[in-house]
């Protein structure tokens, strides 16, 4: 995970976070494999549906869910690593969400007097 922080004003900071594509894609595949064991589809026994069909049918939604979770998790990790204390809720600006490419997003947040 790559993190860069810039001060926008006395009261605001912007943090850019980059997460390698491999981290996101492995989380997506793990979630799809988990779903494959629970999904029912006509013509297949439960747990025997090919992963390709699962990915085609549910892949986009699963990826969005995983990307949201990864952004949340890495944001809190970055705050802890950088010893920041945001004073309020951040604004999220996704920069790169394409499949197979590194995930990159920007979070702007108010800065506390201590941070």
Q: Give this prediction's pTM.
A: 0.82
Strand ranges inside the chain, DSSP E: 2-9, 12-19, 91-96, 103-110
How high is the pLDDT of residue 115?
Answer: 46
Give the span between the Cα atoms of 104 and 70, in whole angstroms.
11
Condensed to tens digits (0 to 9), the pLDDT of residues 45-89 reads 888 888 899 999 999 999 999 999 999 999 999 999 999 888 888
Q: Please report the domains of the chain, with CATH numbers, ordered by start residue.
A: 2-110 (3.30.70.1050)
The pLDDT score that the predictor gives to residue 114 is: 52
The label of the residue with tokens 């920007």 reads 106
């Amino acid at each position: 995970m790559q993190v860069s922080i810039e001060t926008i004003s006395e009261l605001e900071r912007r943090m850019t976070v980059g997460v390698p594509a491999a981290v996101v894609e492995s989380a997506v595949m793990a979630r799809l494999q988990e779903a494959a064991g629970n999904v029912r589809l006509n013509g297949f026994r439960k747990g025997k549906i090919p992963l390709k069909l699962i990915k085609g049918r549910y892949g986009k939604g699963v990826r969005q869910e995983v990307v949201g979770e990864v952004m949340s998790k890495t944001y809190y990790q970055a705050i802890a690593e950088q010893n920041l204390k945001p004073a309020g809720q951040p604004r999220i600006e996704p920069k790169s969400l394409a499949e197979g490419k590194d995930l990159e997003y920007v979070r702007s947040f108010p800065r506390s007097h201590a941070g």
